[in-house]
Every structure is written in structure tokens, then in C-alpha cells.
């Protein structure tokens, strides 16, 4: 698999095989991703890898928070407060494509809710990664983190793995920090489900569209 294939073929995988990912494989992925660029070589990334019973405990804690009506309190706002076009339409179509793949009708609130809770089950993935940056860091470090997380996802594909980046788990950063006994000065950016994909599952066999190059690029000669 070349770099172009790794980028274009990547998808947000939401169904995984019941097959453990060896720790040494995850170490190799992180060993590759650590060569990501960062301003002044600050390397601001902090990662927590959660597997086995630790993952199950964290999953249960996140589900308790969500099902118990605990208000989401992310460390930062991921989405805008208002949704102008074209972002509003893209968001709507993204959600509808997922529900179509899962054969969930638009008015089936119960199944939609259950599908959302799969976020906190990490979609059945055997491993979950959490990405943090120290609170003292400014926005430039967040750009560095984006490049690092992308490289983690691409390096995973080299090992036959797929992943799903998750802003959903960042709704409950205090739960994650408490369960993993992490410092409060670590800002939770997102989680990442990681595992061997269930290629036959319908949820892994649809793709969202992307804007063509001419739609987001201005050329100056």
C-alpha cells in the first residue's frame, strides 16, 4: 500500500473483528507517527492506549455518564454554535449516510440512540487511543496534533488495521481523566477506535463524499 492508497482508502471504521491487536503492533504505529512534524519540534502529543479490562471499565463509565444524563462538558468546542452552509448540509448527509448503512429509519429514535452509544463501546474495537495536549500549549500545537493523529491512522493501515477518530468521547473528558488517572492539565482532543476491520459489515461499506479540488482551492500564477 502506497501513501496515496493509504489516504484515499482510509475510512471511519465502525465494526471490528474480535481479534486482539498486539501491543507491539500499536508500539510500531506510534513509533512511526512520532516522526510527524511539529512547530520548533515541540512534539506536543500525549497518548493513552486502552485495551482489555481497562477499555471495558472506561466504556462502562462513559455509558453511565451518557445514559445518566450527565451533561457533555468537552475541554473545547469542536463544532460551531451555528451551522452555515455548506457545513450544515454536509453534516446532515454524513449522518444520513451512516443511518442508511445501518438501515435505521429517520424516525427510529431508539435505534439511533443505540447507534450513538456504540461510540462509547468503541464500536467493538479491541483498542482505543486517546490523544491529549497540555493545557499550556496554544493553537499551533493543535495543528501538530492533527498531523500526528492522521499519521497514526495511516500507519495503522500499514499493519492491516483500521480506525475511527472520535470526538464523541471527548464530551466527557473528566470521566476519561478520572478512569485513567491522568493529570487535569491534559486536554482531551479525541479518541480513536483501533482494530482489524469487519469488511463484511454494511457500516464499513459506504463512503462519504469529498469536495473536488476546484471547490476549495484558489490558484495564483
Encode pLDDT of 50-61 as tens digits.
Answer: 999 999 999 999
Looking at domain 12-77+120-205, which of 3.40.50.1000, 3.30.420.40, 3.40.109.10, 2.30.30.180 is its CATH number? 3.40.109.10
Encode pLDDT of 128-184 as tens digits.
Answer: 999 999 999 999 999 999 999 999 999 999 999 999 999 999 999 999 999 999 999
Encode pLDDT of 67-90 as tens digits.
Answer: 999 999 999 999 999 999 999 999
Cβ(44)–Cβ(133) below 8 Å: yes
**Terminal-to-terminal C-alpha distance of the chain:** 34
Distances (CA, A) of 93 to 13, 86, 97, 160, 220: 18, 11, 6, 29, 32
Give the domain ranges of the chain: 12-77+120-205
Amino acid at each position: 500500500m502506497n501513501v496515496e492508497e493509504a489516504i484515499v482508502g482510509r475510512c471511519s471504521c465502525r465494526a471490528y473483528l474480535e481479534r486482539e491487536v498486539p501491543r507491539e503492533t500499536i508500539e510500531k504505529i506510534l513509533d512511526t507517527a512520532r516522526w510527524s512534524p511539529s512547530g520548533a519540534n515541540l512534539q506536543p502529543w500525549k497518548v493513552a492506549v486502552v485495551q482489555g479490562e481497562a477499555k471495558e471499565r472506561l466504556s462502562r463509565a462513559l455509558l453511565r455518564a451518557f445514559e445518566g444524563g450527565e451533561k457533555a462538558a468537552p475541554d473545547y468546542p469542536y463544532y460551531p454554535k451555528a451551522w452555515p452552509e455548506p457545513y450544515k448540509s454536509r453534516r446532515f448527509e454524513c449522518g444520513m449516510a451512516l443511518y442508511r448503512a445501518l438501515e435505521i429509519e429517520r424516525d427510529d429514535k431508539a435505534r439511533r440512540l443505540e447507534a450513538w452509544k456504540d461510540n462509547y463501546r468503541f464500536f467493538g474495537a479491541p483498542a482505543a487511543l486517546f490523544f491529549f495536549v497540555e493545557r499550556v500549549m496554544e493553537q499551533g500545537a493543535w495543528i501538530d496534533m492533527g498531523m500526528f493523529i492522521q499519521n497514526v491512522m495511516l500507519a495503522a493501515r500499514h499493519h492491516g488495521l483500521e480506525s475511527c477518530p472520535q470526538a464523541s468521547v471527548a464530551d466527557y473528558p473528566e470521566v476519561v481523566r478520572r478512569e485513567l488517572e491522568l493529570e487535569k492539565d491534559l486536554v482531551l482532543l479525541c479518541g480513536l477506535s483501533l482494530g482489524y476491520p469487519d469488511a463484511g459489515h454494511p457500516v464499513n461499506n459506504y463512503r462519504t463524499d469529498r469536495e473536488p479540488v476546484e471547490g476549495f482551492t484558489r490558484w495564483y500564477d
